Structures are given as structure tokens and as C-alpha cells.
């Protein structure tokens, strides 16, 4: 930019540049609500432009409601501008395929999660105290001792036969009939999902997911160069099938990926009839359904829900699950039923991780064969249900008015919607100073700042420490609301002075 006589076009460009600069400073957190911005003279000097151009730019920003002039004082950042640029709550996700931007959030939380002495409410890990650790330890030690050759050797890429037989039997609980050869053992549910997506999709393809959705799913899509469309999802209905239908009419969707039974983060359940409809809808259009059923056994009601896969007549439903939420997250054992994509999945699995850890496979197969799997899981689920109730109650009493703690129908994560004044990423940052981690809402959408006032909390445990952490979180959220209201008052008094 240069001083001196300039054309109208140049002057307009300069004005644009100044406006963008101010917006970026607000967006980047350099200017907060109520802050005085650089004076017209300072800005003109800093940017080496005319005072008239800066004045034009500031007037435009004032008209837009970004800043406000105060006579004999200068220009101040409007309260709503910080919300406008930094935090936009989106009630229904925008219906366009987008690139994900939440990787930095999840990335930094993964880093923080490494430190100990922290109340970890961010993860979706089951309560280790409720897992059959003793039995599994014994079975694994026995596998290593009595089946040393198998334990030490590479297993087949598809997994150990004995485990595939047991899994095939377990699948009957979800009304899915299968034979052992239908099943490929994986390094946990993440690998199951990743294999299915890679078998079906090419970079650039669009997949439809639930909203809010599991962040690792969004990361998987991102790292594979896929675009995602998020479909609104509700506690008792699951994915909105009308929205889905509209999206299918509009975009060439390659696959629909969802967790219909106690999905993460909502803990929602899609009713059987909706599952049947969903399968039919996709079957009619020859679109693949990838079902993630890792929480399927963890419902609070007594009936185990039927898997969407059970309604599959053409083999277009791919089924993913794991033992990470029920038996042992650290063992990394899951499975997938790929139907017509089975062979492709096997090759990708072989090329990606070779095979799954052998001793774990033997131990889990033994557990399924001779221990009471359902009994152990039901026992844990009762505790999850009670803990979820206790957490929801404490949230109601400690969080700002208007906070909604949505009690899940199964599993052990809870979705909290706070008043719009609360920014969950800011809450995360202040919580970590109190040695508490949470998973902020924006992690669950590919859209920048979606679910900004929401968060997911792990409710698998309930202890004095967790109760105290929840109260601290509530206090921090209340502080955000108060700070917001103070800033509002400050500005309104400044403006009226």
C-alpha cells in the first residue's frame, strides 16, 4: 500500500484490507469484546495508508456492528462481534459437504490426555474398574503359556478361527446371522470403520454421518480425503431419515456411516422400524451402510437392540464392532463383517496392520466361550446407568441456567448443551488448569464452531473426584456467563455515557 494520490479502486482495496485486518484480529482473539482498537491515526501509520481510507474502513465496520465509535475516545469492539467471528452456534448442521477443521482440537486434547493426575472426562473409555480384568489377565497369561506358538506368531490377517467362531455366535444377540468366515478380526472398532470406508470410498467421495458424530470418524474421513455431510440426529429417533432422504436426492453419497445403537456422543437409539427403513432406503439406491455397533451391548433397557445389519437382505450393510467398550480397550480387538467387500477389506487389513495381536485374540475367544460375557456386561451397564443419572443431577445443580444434560439411553458418554454464552473450547482450556479434561462440542462436527456451547463428558465413573470435577466445570461455565454479562453491561454503559 502506498501514500499519495490514489484511485477510487485502490482506496476501496485499502478499505477492504483494513476491514479484514480488524476482523482477523477479533477472530484470532487479539481483540476481545469491549477492547479499544488501534486509533485511526495509528492504523494509518502502521499500514502506511491514508487516514481517509482507515476512517472509511472503520465506518463500514461500525455499520456492520463490528465496532462502535465513542466520541473523543475511539473505536471499541462490539460484544457480538466476538461471537460473530469466533463462535457461531448452528442449530441444524449446514447441508453441504465440508472439510473438517476439528483435528487441531482433538489433537491437543490427545496430548493433554497423556498427563496423569487428571480427571479424564474427555475420552470414551469404559470404567476399567467394571471390566473383568482378573479373568482376562488369567486367560491371557494362560494363552501365552499354553499356546505360546500361536500367541507369539502372526495370526492370519482375518484373525484366529476360534475367536471368529465365538464372535459369529455373539452376533445372534443383535439378530445378525453370520458364519466365522464372514468375520475379520481388527485392531479395534477404529480399524473396523477405517477398513470399511477404505474398501468402499475413493478420495473426493462424500459420506453422510450423524451430527453430532464421533470425532475419530471425521478424522478418518479427513485423512482419507473424503467429504462429509452431517445429518441431524436425535436421542430417540437417531439419524433424521427425512433429512437423509433429502441429502441423498441432492448429493452422490457413497456411504452412510452411523452408530444407530447408543451412538457417540448422544447415547441415542434409532428404533428398529427406523433401522429397517434406513436399510431399505439405502438398498433402493444401492448405497452402502456402514454400521458402528460398539455400544450395542450397553443399552440401559433390558432388550439388546437389533442391529441395522439384521435388516440387510442384499449384503450392502457393513457391520463394525469391538470389545473396547465391553471387555478391554487396551487389548485392541474388534471385528468387521464386510459382505461383498470382505476380500478387499482383508487385503487392506493385511497391507495396513498385517494382523491383530494374537494373545488377545485367544484370551477373548476363551472369555466368550467359557465366561459369562452378558452377565459381566449387564453388571457394568447398571453402574453406567446409575452414574449417568448422578452426573446429570449434579450438572443440573451446578451449571448455568439453561444447561441441558441429555441422559443417554446406553453407553457411558453424556452430551451437555450449555447456554450460548458458554464457549466449550474456552471451558476446555480453563478446565485443564484444574486438571480436568472434557471433549468440546466442536470436535463432533466438521463445521467450524458447530456445537460451540456443547461438550461430551464421560459418565462411566462416579466418585467424589468426578463429582467435584463436575462442580468445578459448572463453576467455570457460570463464570463465562457472568463475564459475558459484565462485558455487555460495560459496553452498554460506555455507549450510553
* Contacting residues toward a second copy, per CB under 8 A: 103, 106-107, 110, 113-114, 123, 125, 128, 131, 133, 136-137, 140-141, 144-145, 148-158, 161, 187-191, 194, 198, 202-203, 216, 219-220, 222-223, 225, 324, 328-332, 343, 346-348, 350-360
Question: What's the closest the beta carbon of residue 388 comes to a second copy, in angstroms?
Answer: 20
Nearest distance from C-beta of residue 152 to a second copy, angstroms: 5
- For the CB of residue 204, give the shortest distance to a second copy in the complex, in Å: 9
Q: Hey, CA dihedral for 420, 477, 266, 207, is it positive or negative? A: positive
Of 111 and 313, CB closest to a second copy: 111
Specify the DSSP class assigned to residue 330.
Answer: G
Output 9 or 114, the one with its CB closest to a second copy. Answer: 114
Cα(238)–Cα(274) distance, integer angstroms? 8
Cβ proximity to a second copy, 142 vs 488, nearer residue = 142
Closer residue to a second copy in complex, CB, 311/335? 335
| Integer Cα distance of 130 and 376 in angstroms | 8
Cβ atoms of 198 and 333 closer than 8 Å: no
Please enumerate in sequence order all residues whose Cβ is within 8 A of that of 404, keeping only pairs 6 or more positions apart, or say none.
Answer: 416, 417
Displacement of CA 234 from its chain's centroid (Å) = 15
Grid coordinates 485423512 are at which residue? 223
Closest CB to a second copy among residues 150, 448: 150
Closest to 279 measured CA to CA, from 258, 309, 257: 309
CA distances from 114 to 117, 421, 460 (A): 10, 30, 19
Residue entry with cell 476482523: 23
Cβ at position 473, least distance to a second copy in Å: 22
Least separation in angstroms between residue 126's CB and a second copy is 9
- For a second copy, the closer of residues 136 and 176 by Cβ is 136
- DSSP β-bridge partners for residue 51: none
Block residue for cell numbers 485499502:
14
Least distance to a second copy, CB of residue 191, Å: 5
The pairing of strands 288-292 and 317-322 is: parallel
CB of 275 to a second copy, least distance (A): 26
Cα separation, 219 vs 320, in Å, equals 17
Q: Which residue, 153 or 486, has its beta carbon nearer to a second copy? A: 153
Amino acid at each position: 500500500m502506498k501514500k499519495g494520490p490514489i484511485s477510487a479502486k485502490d482506496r476501496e482495496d485499502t478499505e477492504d484490507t483494513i476491514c479484514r485486518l480488524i476482523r482477523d484480529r477479533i477472530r484470532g482473539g487479539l481483540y476481545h469484546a469491549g477492547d479499544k482498537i488501534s486509533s485511526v491515526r495509528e492504523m494509518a501509520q502502521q499500514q502506511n495508508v491514508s487516514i481517509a481510507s482507515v476512517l472509511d474502513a472503520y465506518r463500514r465496520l461500525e455499520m456492520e456492528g463490528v465496532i462502535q465509535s465513542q466520541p473523543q475516545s475511539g473505536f471499541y469492539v462490539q460484544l457480538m462481534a466476538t461471537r460473530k467471528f469466533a463462535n457461531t452456534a448452528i442449530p441444524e448442521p449446514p447441508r453441504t459437504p465440508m472439510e473438517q477443521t476439528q483435528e487441531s482440537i482433538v489433537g491437543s486434547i490427545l496430548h493433554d490426555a497423556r498427563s496423569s493426575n487428571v480427571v479424564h472426562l474427555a475420552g470414551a473409555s469404559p470404567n476399567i474398574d467394571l471390566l473383568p480384568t482378573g479373568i482376562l489377565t488369567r486367560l491371557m497369561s494362560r494363552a501365552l503359556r499354553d499356546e505360546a506358538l500361536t500367541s507369539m506368531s502372526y495370526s492370519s490377517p482375518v484373525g484366529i478361527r476360534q475367536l471368529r467362531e465365538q464372535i459369529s455366535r455373539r452376533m445372534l444377540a443383535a439378530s445378525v446371522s453370520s458364519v466365522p468366515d464372514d468375520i475379520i478380526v481388527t485392531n479395534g472398532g477404529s480399524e473396523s470403520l477405517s477398513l470399511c470406508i477404505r474398501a468402499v470410498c475413493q478420495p473426493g467421495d462424500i459420506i453422510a454421518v450423524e451430527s453430532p458424530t464421533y470425532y475419530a470418524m471425521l478424522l478418518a474421513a479427513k485423512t482419507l480425503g473424503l467429504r462429509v455431510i452431517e445429518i441431524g440426529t436425535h436421542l430417540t429417533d437417531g439419524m433424521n431419515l427425512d433429512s437423509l432422504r433429502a441429502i441423498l436426492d441432492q448429493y452422490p453419497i457413497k456411504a452412510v456411516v452411523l452408530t444407530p445403537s447408543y451412538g457417540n456422543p448422544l447415547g441415542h437409539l434409532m428404533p428398529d422400524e427406523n433401522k429397517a427403513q434406513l436399510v431399505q432406503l439405502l438398498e433402493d439406491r444401492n448405497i452402502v451402510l456402514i454400521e458402528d455397533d460398539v455400544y450395542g451391548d450397553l443399552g440401559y433397557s433390558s432388550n439388546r437392540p437389533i442391529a441395522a445389519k439384521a435388516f440387510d437382505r442384499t449384503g450392502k450393510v457393513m457391520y463394525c464392532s469391538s470389545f473396547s467398550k465391553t471387555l478391554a480397550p487396551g487389548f485392541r480387538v474388534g471385528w468387521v463383517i464386510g459382505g461383498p467387500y470382505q476380500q478387499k477389506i482383508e487385503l487392506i487389513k493385511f497391507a495396513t496392520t498385517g494382523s491383530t495381536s494374537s494373545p488377545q485374540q485367544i484370551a477373548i475367544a476363551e472369555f466368550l466361550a467359557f465366561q459369562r460375557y452378558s452377565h459381566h456386561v449387564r453388571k457394568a451397564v447398571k453402574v453406567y446407568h446409575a452414574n449417568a443419572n448422578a452426573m446429570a443431577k449434579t450438572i443440573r445443580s451446578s451449571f448455568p441456567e439453561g444447561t441441558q444434560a441429555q441422559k443417554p439411553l446406553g453407553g457411558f458418554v453424556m452430551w451437555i448443551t450449555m447456554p450460548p454464552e458458554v464457549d466449550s473450547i474456552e471451558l476446555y482450556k480453563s478446565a485443564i488448569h484444574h486438571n480436568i479434561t472434557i471433549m468440546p462440542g466442536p470436535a463432533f462436527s466438521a463445521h467450524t464452531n458447530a456445537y460451540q456451547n456443547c461438550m461430551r463428558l464421560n459418565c462411566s465413573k462416579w466418585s467424589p473426584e468426578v463429582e467435584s470435577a463436575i462442580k468445578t466445570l459448572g463453576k467455570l461455565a457460570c463464570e463465562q456467563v457472568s463475564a459475558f454479562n459484565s462485558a455487555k453491561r460495560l459496553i452498554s454503559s460506555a455507549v450510553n455515557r
